[in-house]
Amino acid sequence: MIDGAMQPFALTLDKFLDHASRWRPTSQVVTAREDGQVARIGYADLAARSRRVSAVLAGLGVQGGARVATLAWNTQAHMEAWYAIMGMGAVCHTLNPRLTADHLSGMVTRSGARLLIVAGDLVALARQIADRVPQDLQLIVIDGAAEAGTAALEPMIADAADGFAWGGFDETAPCGLCFTSGTTGAPKGVTYTHRSSYLHTLRVLQADVMAISGADVVLAVVPMFHANAWGLPFAAPAVGAKLVLPGRNADGASLARLIQSEGVTVGVGVPTVWLGLLEHLEAEGGETPSLKRIIVGGAPMPPALMARLEARLGVIVQTSWGMTELSPSGTVAAPHDPRSPAQSGRPAIGVDLMVADAEGRPLPEQRNTEGHLHVRGAAVVERYFGETAPATNPDGWFATGDLARIDEAGNLVITGRAKDLIKSGGEWINPAEIEAVVGALPEVSLAAVIGRTDAKWGERPILLVELREPDSVSDDALLAPLKGKVASWWIPDEVVRLEAMPLAATGKIDKLRLRAEYGAAAGGGAT
Amino acid sequence: MIDGAMQPFALTLDKFLDHASRWRPTSQVVTAREDGQVARIGYADLAARSRRVSAVLAGLGVQGGARVATLAWNTQAHMEAWYAIMGMGAVCHTLNPRLTADHLSGMVTRSGARLLIVAGDLVALARQIADRVPQDLQLIVIDGAAEAGTAALEPMIADAADGFAWGGFDETAPCGLCFTSGTTGAPKGVTYTHRSSYLHTLRVLQADVMAISGADVVLAVVPMFHANAWGLPFAAPAVGAKLVLPGRNADGASLARLIQSEGVTVGVGVPTVWLGLLEHLEAEGGETPSLKRIIVGGAPMPPALMARLEARLGVIVQTSWGMTELSPSGTVAAPHDPRSPAQSGRPAIGVDLMVADAEGRPLPEQRNTEGHLHVRGAAVVERYFGETAPATNPDGWFATGDLARIDEAGNLVITGRAKDLIKSGGEWINPAEIEAVVGALPEVSLAAVIGRTDAKWGERPILLVELREPDSVSDDALLAPLKGKVASWWIPDEVVRLEAMPLAATGKIDKLRLRAEYGAAAGGGAT
C-alpha cells in the first residue's frame, strides 16, 4: 500500500524574502540614515540585491557552512547581508559593536570567520578585531566607502550576477551564530538553524504572540547584531510588513521622527528606548497616533514606565521574556490579555516551561511557586557552539539561569537571576524583588542591587540607583518602601547614587561591572 | 569545529493537545448534543481521555501506520478519537456520512481500515459499509450505546490505562486520510502527514490568516469528517481557544443558540450555513453580539449574503479558498484587508500560487490574467494515496483544476472550475461568471450553470436556480442582468427552477448530479 505524500518544503529562511518578493514586492524596508533622511527599498528589489551579495560572497570563496561575520547596525545593507549569507547556506555570525575589540576578536577567533561585513562607521573597530585574530580576516564595507585594506561591497554588487540560487540544503543547516551578552558569565556561542529560526518566526507571527500582519509597520529597535533582532527581519518579510530600521540611532528624537514619518504601528525594543521616546515627546511635544503596540523585553519592565507609555502614547505594551539561547523569544504577553509589567505572557506552541529546584528537579507544584526556570522547544539551544556536551539535561530541558514563577493562568513571572542571588548569613536574598520595589518609585530611573563582600555575613546587599533628578530623594526615602515588603535583613546596607547606570551592550544593567566596581568589602567607586 | 545545535522538536500533532493540556487545561471543548444541551470538557481532561482511547486502540491491535476510519459528526468523542489515532502514529481516515455506503465502502476498501469508529446514530450506515468491504471491519461506537456486532468505546475508556505515550515517530509519518468530495471526478485519497498538518496549523494561526487566539471561542461548523474541519481541531488547542462543536445540527436555530450561549467569537463554515443563521435571526429575531468574524470557504461567497451578514451581524466576513489537497486552506482574506466576496485573500508564507495555460506552462503575466491555478507548499499534496505517479508537475506545482486570476495586490480571485467550462461552438463559456451575476440577484438563493448537449453547438448553457420564494421573478428578469456583462452567446438557453439545489456532502452545489439530470440533449427533470 502506498501512503501518498505531501510536498517537500524545506523550512529555510530564504523563503521569507522570496515570499515577500513575490507577494508583497513593493512593501518596503526603510532605513534611517545618519543625515536624517531615509533610504527605501521594496522587498523584490531587496531580494534581488541580496542574491547579488550571495554571488559576491561565493566569488570570495564563501561556501556552505562557513561563518561570515557582520558588524553593523539595523540597516538595509545589513539585512541584505543576512539573507545573502543565510540563503547560500553560510552562517551569519553577528557581532555587537558595543563590545570591546578584545571580546569580539575572541568570538571571531572561535567562529573562524574569514570575512567580516562591516558598517562604514565601524571599520576602526573591525581593524582592531582583524589585528587580534589568528586567521586572515577580510573586511567588506557596507553603508560606506572602502578604506585601505578593505573592500566596498556596493561596487561588487553592481558587478555581480543576478539570480543566485538560494536554498537546496537541509533545513537543519546552521544559519546564524550569536554569542551571549556575557552579563552574567563568559559569552557562549548559540548556533541558530534554518529550521529553528523558521519555526520561531511562525511562532511570533501568531495572533497571540507578536501578531504582526502585512498591514503593520514594524520599527525594529532591537539590534540585528544580537539575537536576530528578535526575529523581526524574518517575521516582517514573511507577512510582507513594512520594516523600519533605525540605523545606529535609537534616541527618543530619532525614534519619534521615524514613527511619525513612516506610520509605525508596532515598536519593538528594550524598555529604555521607550523611556527615551517618552521623555522626548514629553519635553518637545508631539504625538505618535499610528503607534498601536510596543513589544518590550530583554530587561524587567518598570511598572511606572509601562503605565506612562500606555497613558501618554495610547498604546498596548506587550511584555516578553527571551534569551539569546531561545532565538530569542520565549514568551510574549498576548495583545488582548490583561497586562501586567511583572508578567511576560504564556508560552506559545513550540515552547514549554518548567520550574525546578537548584538541582534541576521539577518542583512538585508548577504554579505559583518560585523555582529555577527551564525551557524546551524547537528554537531553544541544545548544545553551544564549539562544545560537545549538551546544554540540556537528560530530559531535554535547558536551565535558563532565571528564577521565576508561573501564575495560575500560565503567565511567566521572572523573579530574578539565579546568579544574581545574594547569600547573606547562609540565606538567599533575591535582588530582583528589592529592585522592583525601589524601581517603581517615581524618582528612580534605574535601580540595581548587588552583594558586597561582608566579613560577618558573607555578603550584604547594597542598592545602586540612577535618579531622574539628582538629590531629589533621600536614602531613607529610597529604602522606606521596602519595609514590610521584604524581610528586614534584605534591606540594603548602603545606597550608592550613580550618574549613569552602566549598561551592557544589549541595554541591560551590567551587573558584572557593578560587582567589579562596588562588590568588594571596602566599598568603592565615586558617587 | 562543532557547530552547536538547537533542540530536536518533532512537528507532531499530539503536541497541540499536550500544550493545551499544560497551558490552557480548563479551556473547553463544548459539544452540542441532540437533546439541546451541551457537553463540556477541559483540554487537560480531553487529552487524558484521548490517551486512554489510544490505549484501547493499541489493545485492539492498532499499530503505527494503520488506517483507522471514523464516521462521525463534530463532537468531543470524535476529537478524542482523532488525537488517539494520530497521537499513536496511526492514520485517521475520516468518512463523510453524507456519502453513500457504496462510495464509502470503496474508500474503506482502499484504505484497508480494520476499525471503524462510528457515531451512535450512524451505525446503520457503518454496517452497510462493513457488509461491502472485503476486510473484517470492527465497529466501535462513540456517542452512543453498542448494538449487536459493535463495541461501545466508553466502557473501554473507563477500563483503559492512563498516560499512553504519544509521538516518538518521524514527523513525516502520515496522520490522516481524506478522499476528495468527488463533485468533479472520482474521489482521490489525500494523505496528510504530521508535519504538513502542523505547518498548516501554524499558518492559519497567523494574524493575517485565521488569527485565532486563546481569547477566541471558535465555532467549527466545517465538518471533521472532511478536510480536517479546516484544521480547527488542531488550531484551537494549539492556542488554547475554546472550541464549540455543533454535533450533527448546523441549522440556523442550532447555530444561533450555540453562538449566544457559548459566546462564540469566530464562526467557520461554508456560506450556506451562515445563510441559515441569518434567515433564522431575521425570522425569529435575536442578536449574536459576541460574534466578531465569520470565515467562509468551500464555495463562492454570494455578494448579497456577505453584505447581509456584515450588516445584520456586525461581523467581518473573511473569504477563503482551499481544497482537500491543501489540508485544506490555501488563502484566507486577512481580517484587516479591504474585503470583497470575489477575492479569497493572499497566500501566507508556506503557500505559493501560479497561473498557467491549459498545459501547465506559467503565464508570462501572473497578475490580472485568468489562468489555470497551480499551488505549491508544505501542506499541498504531492502524491495521492495508493498512487505511484506524482500529483505535481516536474516543477512541483499541483494543478488545482480551478480557474483564477491574481489581482495586482496579490489577492486570489477564483473564476471557475476548469472541468465546469462549457464548450459551445468551439469556444469556452465559464459558468462561474454567469452564476456570479445571477446569484447576486436578491430573489436568488443559489444559481448554477451547466452545459447541455446540443446537436448544433456541442453544448449550450442552461441556468438552474433555487429561488428564495417561488415564482417571485420571471425567466427574463433572471437573464436580463447578464446583457452587457457576458457575451450574448453565453446567455443560457433555458432556466430551470429547482425547489432545492442538490448539494454534495460538503455543501457545495453538486454539478455532477446536475449534469446527470439536466445535461442530456433532451433536457429533463421536474421543475
B-proximal residues of A, 308-367, CB under 8 Å: 327, 334, 336-337, 346-350, 352
Given the residues A34, A172, A428, A489, the one annotated as active site: A428
Report pLDDT digits (tens) over B123-132: 999 999 999 9
Given the residues B365, B369, B419, B428, the one annotated as active site: B428
* Helix ranges restricted to H, A323-461: 431-439
pLDDT at A98 over 90: no
What's the DSSP call for residue B367?
Answer: S
Please, which contacts does B146-155 make with residues 24 or more away whose CB atoms are closer than 8 Å? B147/B123, B150/B118, B150/B123, B150/B126, B153/B53, B153/B56, B153/B77, B153/B81, B153/B117
The answer to whether residues A509 and A503 touch, using CB atoms and an 8 Å cutoff, is yes
B-proximal residues of A, 362-391, CB under 8 Å: 376-388
Share of chain A above pLDDT 90, in %: 81
Cα separation, B172 vs B194, whole angstroms: 6
Instruction: For residue B484, give every residue at least 6 positions away whose Cβ sits within 8 Å of its Cβ, in sequence order, or none.
Output: none
Residue A468: how many other CB atoms lie within 10 Å: 13
Average pLDDT estimate for A10-23: 98
- The label of the residue with cell 433555458 reads B494
pLDDT at A273 over 70: yes
Cell of A227: 539575537
Which strand (E) or helix (H) includes residue A398? strand A398-406
Judge if the upstream peptide bond of residue B8 is cis by omega within 30 degrees of 0.
no
The answer to whether residues A93 and A177 touch, using CB atoms and an 8 Å cutoff, is yes
Q: Hey, what's the torsion of the CAs at A499, A504, A508, A512, to 10 degrees?
A: -90
The residue among A440 and B117 whose pLDDT is bigger is B117
Confidence of residue A387 (pLDDT cuts 50, 70, 90): very high
The answer to whether residues A403 and A371 touch, using CB atoms and an 8 Å cutoff, is yes
Q: How many CA atoms lie within 13 A of A129 on its CB side?
A: 34
A294 CB burial (10 A radius; 0-12, 13-18, 19+):
buried
Q: Which residues of A touch B385 (CB under 8 A)?
A: 2-4
Q: What DSSP letter does each residue of A191-211 carry, written as one string?
A: EEEHHHHHHHHHHHTBTTTT-
pTM, whole model, 2 decimals?
A: 0.90
The answer to whether residues B177 and B94 touch, using CB atoms and an 8 Å cutoff, is yes
Judge whether B423 counts as a catalytic residue: yes
pLDDT at A68 over 60: yes
What one-letter code names the amino acid at A83?
Y
Is B103 in a helix, a strand, or coil?
helix
Which strand (E) or helix (H) includes residue A155? helix A153-159
- The label of the residue with cell 537546496 reads A168
A245 CB burial (10 A radius; 0-12, 13-18, 19+):
buried
B112 touches chain A (CB under 8 A): yes
Cell of B192: 496528510
Judge whether B325 counts as a catalytic residue: yes
Cα separation, B28 vs B47, whole angstroms: 11
Report pLDDT digits (tens) over B130-151: 999 999 999 999 988 888 999 9
- The label of the residue with cell 429533463 reads B524
- Predicted confidence at residue B104, as pLDDT, reads 95
pLDDT at A22 over 90: yes
The CA distances from residue B496 to B21, B85, B300, B518, in Å, are: 54, 46, 21, 9
The answer to whether residues B316 and B243 touch, using CB atoms and an 8 Å cutoff, is no
The CA distances from residue B150 to B96, B117, B141, in Å, are: 20, 10, 7
A-proximal residues of B, 215-254, CB under 8 Å: 215, 238-239
Judge whether A325 counts as a catalytic residue: yes
The residue among A361 and B339 whose pLDDT is bigger is A361
- β-strands B242-245, B28-32 pairing: parallel
Confidence of residue B503 (pLDDT cuts 50, 70, 90): confident
Report pLDDT digits (tens) over B226-279: 999 999 999 999 999 999 999 999 999 999 999 999 999 999 999 989 999 999
Nearest CB neighbour to A7, from listed B9, B213, B377: B377
Is B130 in a helix, a strand, or coil?
helix
B285 Rama sector, left if φ>0, alpha if ψ -120 to 50, beta otherwise: left
What's the DSSP call for residue A252?
Answer: H
A110-114, A438-442, B167-171: range with lowest mean pLDDT: A438-442
Report pLDDT digits (tens) over B420-475: 889 888 888 889 889 989 998 999 999 999 999 988 888 999 999 999 998 889 99
Between helix B303-313 and helix B271-284 the angle, nearest 10°, is: 50
C-alpha A18, offset from chain centre: 25
**Ramachandran angles phi, psi of B105, nearest 5°:** -70, -30
Report pLDDT digits (tens) over A186-214: 789 999 999 999 999 999 999 999 999 99
A93, β-bridge pairs? A69, A177
Cα separation, A238 vs A11, whole angstroms: 12
**Ramachandran angles phi, psi of B142, nearest 5°:** -110, 165
Average pLDDT estimate for B199-220: 97
The CA distances from residue A356 to A324, A384, A413, A423, in Å, are: 21, 22, 14, 19
Cell of B139: 465497529
Cα separation, B167 vs B169, whole angstroms: 6
Judge whether B428 counts as a catalytic residue: yes
Report pLDDT digits (tens) over A391-421: 999 999 999 999 999 999 999 999 888 888 8
Q: Which residue out of B24, B205, B349, B352 would a mutagenesis test of the A interface target, given it has the greatest number of A Cβ atoms within 10 Å?
A: B349
- Predicted confidence at residue A524, as pLDDT, reads 42
Nearest to B431, CA basis, from B462, B467, B475: B462
Residue A54: how many other CB atoms lie within 10 Å: 27
Average pLDDT estimate for B96-113: 94
Q: B20: nearest CA in chain A?
A: A349
What's the DSSP call for residue A325?
Answer: G
B-proximal residues of A, 10-49, CB under 8 Å: 11, 15-16, 19, 22-24
Report pLDDT digits (tens) over A142-182: 988 888 999 999 999 999 999 999 999 999 999 999 998 76
Cα separation, B273 vs B301, whole angstroms: 12
Report pLDDT digits (tens) over B286-312: 999 999 999 999 888 888 899 999 999
Q: How do the residues of chain B divide into helix, strand and coil, expressed in percent and rounded to 5?
A: 30, 25, 40
Q: Which residues of A touch B65 (CB under 8 A)?
A: 3
Q: What DSSP letter does each residue of A103-125 carry, written as one string?
A: HHHHHHHHHT-SEEEEEGGGHHH
Please state, rounded to an integer, the average pLDDT across all residues of chain A.
94
What one-letter code names the amino acid at A105?
S
Instruction: For residue B327, give every residue at least 6 positions away whose Cβ sits within 8 Å of its Cβ, in sequence order, or none.
Output: A6, B192, B196, B197, B200, B227, B228, B231, B379, B380
**Given strand B174-179, what is the order of strands in its sheet?**
B150-152, B138-142, B115-119, B67-71, B91-94, B174-179, B189-193
Q: What DSSP letter does each residue of A16-77 carry, written as one string?
A: HHHHHHHHSTT-EEEEE-TTS-EEEEEHHHHHHHHHHHHHHHHHTT--TT-EEEEE--B-HH
Cell of A446: 534605574
Residue B407: how many other CB atoms lie within 10 Å: 14
Average pLDDT estimate for A39-58: 98
- The label of the residue with cell 491574481 reads B406
Confidence of residue B524 (pLDDT cuts 50, 70, 90): very low
Q: Which residues of B touch A211 (CB under 8 A)?
A: 207, 211
- Cross-chain residue pair B392–A193, CB shorter than 8 Å: no
B5, β-bridge pairs? A383
Cα separation, B257 vs B436, whole angstroms: 32
- Predicted confidence at residue B1, as pLDDT, reads 54
The answer to whether residues A209 and A197 touch, using CB atoms and an 8 Å cutoff, is no
Given the residues A34, A172, A365, A423, the one annotated as active site: A423
Cell of A124: 576602526
Cα separation, B286 vs B253, whole angstroms: 10
Report pLDDT digits (tens) over B18-40: 999 999 999 999 999 989 999 99
Cα separation, A482 vs B353, whole angstroms: 61
Q: Which residues of A touch B6 (CB under 8 A)?
A: 191-193, 195-196, 327, 378-382
C-alpha B438, offset from chain centre: 25
pLDDT at A184 over 60: no
Is B212 in a helix, a strand, or coil?
coil
pLDDT at B525 over 70: no
pLDDT at B214 over 80: yes
The residue among B483 and A523 whose pLDDT is bigger is B483
- Predicted confidence at residue B506, as pLDDT, reads 66
Report pLDDT digits (tens) over B305-359: 999 999 999 999 999 999 999 999 999 999 988 889 999 999 999 999 999 998 9
Please give the ipTM for the structure prediction. 0.90
Q: How do the residues of chain A divide into helix, strand and coil, expressed in percent and rounded to 5?
A: 30, 25, 40
The CA distances from residue B341 to A12, A62, B437, in Å, are: 34, 50, 13
Nearest CB neighbour to A211, from listed B207, B376, B384: B207
Average pLDDT estimate for B171-197: 89
Given the residues B423, B483, B485, B489, the one annotated as active site: B423
- Cross-chain residue pair A386–B7, CB shorter than 8 Å: no
Report pLDDT digits (tens) over B50-97: 999 999 999 999 999 999 999 999 999 999 999 999 999 999 999 999
Cell of B71: 464516521
Please state, rounded to an integer, the average pLDDT across all residues of chain B.
94
